[in-house]
Chains A and B, each alone.
Chain A
């Protein structure tokens, strides 16, 4: 009996594992990271799908509802609204603006081309946010060369206006 059990054990294990594999609930496929441009261009084809999108958070963090904020994700060519939890929005260090490179994030969430819960907005409802790069502030030094050229032009323009005024006075 013991020998029989010993001989059937591996077989039972294989059957059990096969059944478990076959009956297991579907695991969502790991989506490949996509860009904002690809996502906005794909539109209907990606509607309602789980996506992983990467980009720079730009502009401002905007109130959505109690517990949620809007982030705007950009890849330089296109941008998209991302609905996040307040706690996730707080992870953003820099917002992409003039003189600031925004925090670079990887967002996993559901893409909707016509989100009926948001009056038809194209958006991503984020489930998780991964910070790839915090971003940084860019210095804006004075461009003295441009200032000098500008000042020179103003002086030349001023001389021309003065000459015109003198000539006009003389003709009176």
Chain B
């Protein structure tokens, strides 16, 4: 029997959801302050309205339960599942008021894309967007990349809740002794990377002629976009805008740092150099990621060289490598124009890009997609199965794998990896069909679907304000599914529908 939500459950869910909405309202202080500092006075009101709406909505939701007790696991899962939509709704208010979005739905799309760290945009005339609005777009990506829940936990907002919250946001490993310390570690580590990345990119941009104020904001935003493998860009030309090879190299390094599991960084933080190197090289996820990246890069280069575009080595080394790193880390930054991707890239290279987007980076990182760990586990389980078939009946093989310690490759682990992988594939295919039905080219529709579900944001140009409304909703759902890795989302849906069904009367 499916568990049902009782009235008391709904009160608890609403209360904690209200706390999250209040948190988003408080975070709107950042763009509000930027609008004042940059004298963007007609934007200031938008963020006051946004923060005010968050306070009212958050306050009313908290009223649904005056004194909340400890959360149960399914309540925590429901809150995590819903916060990405309710949060995006509140986050979309100031964007909608900016006048750069055709409708509230487009602003909501931007909110979902930002909070899920996808990077698709429906913003019109982005090159004239205010500094405050850009600040908000990238703040959303930072929130989304680290996990809204992780940030709430690191602030001690849900001290009674335990680990249910944390695992329901698509994170599985505890890198520190307790949940609050784990959340704080992720938050502190990310802040350090963002500070260093900003200093580095700021220096490059100054050398390329940027004025200090714009240089600082662009450096900060691009660092956040790269490290959170998010992909929003402050200009319509994405990373091509900067015309800087050194900047592209630093961005690639940031994307790769963002695509590795936080838990491994924690081990480096705590452990010695030797043990860290040993752990890194033995880790199934790192090995799979390394093998996959090398394989996909070679295939991409071969496919490009078979065509007539980017056949000179400097172009291939610069734009080809960047594109494949952006795709494998699910970042979505572009150094190729939409026309180059659609018309000049060979169909083979295009297909390899889609494959790279589909697999993605590491679990427990800011990257999306099926994840290297699951691919590694499935590959290892397949080999173990073959070994079992060949072994004499009296012999029973056990297989293990290294990932943050040594584990047994059980049927449960393999089954979980297979389930999520199948759910990803089903969602990729469903979204592609939705795009094809709307009249778009199958290969473009597939790329956008995979890009949305894996929270990558690399676009073939299909995503635009004039796409059908239903397609915008499909992509929003895909971004949501992908960010939560399905389980939290499916739990909310099943519990909700089970609650609607009337209870059967007990027979007397």
Contacts and interface: CB of A to CB of B under 8 A. Distances in A.
A132 interface: no
A152 B315 CA distance: 55
A160 interface: yes
Interface string A54-68: 000011111110000
Given A97-B128, A153-B48, 20 more contacts: A43-B343, A43-B344, A60-B211, A60-B214, A62-B209, A79-B237, A99-B40, A113-B344, A116-B312, A120-B336, A121-B240, A140-B39, A140-B42, A141-B42, A142-B45, A143-B42, A146-B44, A152-B52, A153-B49, A160-B55
B190 interface: no
B453 interface: no
Interface string A76-120: 101101000000000000001111000000000000011010011
Contacts of B356: none
Interface in A37-78: 40-41, 43-44, 58-64, 69-70, 72, 74, 76, 78
Nearest to B134: A98
B207 interface: yes
A145 B45 contact: yes
B127 A97 contact: yes
Contacts of A60: 209-211, 214
Nearest to A159: B59
* 9 closest residue pairs by CB, A with B: A153-B52, A146-B45, A150-B48, A157-B55, A160-B59, A120-B315, A98-B130, A157-B56, A150-B49
A81 B237 contact: yes
Contact of A98 (B131, B211, B337): B131
A140 B52 CA distance: 22
B492 to A, nearest CB: 25
Interface of B: 22, 25, 39-56, 58-60, 62-63, 66-67, 97, 125, 127-131, 207-211, 214, 235-237, 240-245, 309-310, 312, 314-316, 318-319, 336-340, 343-344
Nearest to A148: B45
Secondary structure of the A contact surface, majority rule? mixed
16 contacts: A43-B344, A69-B209, A72-B237, A79-B237, A98-B130, A114-B340, A121-B243, A122-B337, A140-B41, A140-B42, A146-B46, A146-B97, A154-B48, A156-B55, A161-B22, A161-B55
B40 A63 contact: no
Contacts of A145: 45
Interface of A: 40-41, 43-44, 58-64, 69-70, 72, 74, 76, 78-79, 81, 96-99, 113-114, 116, 119-122, 140-147, 149-154, 156-158, 160-161, 163-164, 167-168, 171-172
A72 B235 contact: yes
Contacts of A171: 66-67
A20 B216 CA distance: 60
Contacts of A168: 66-67
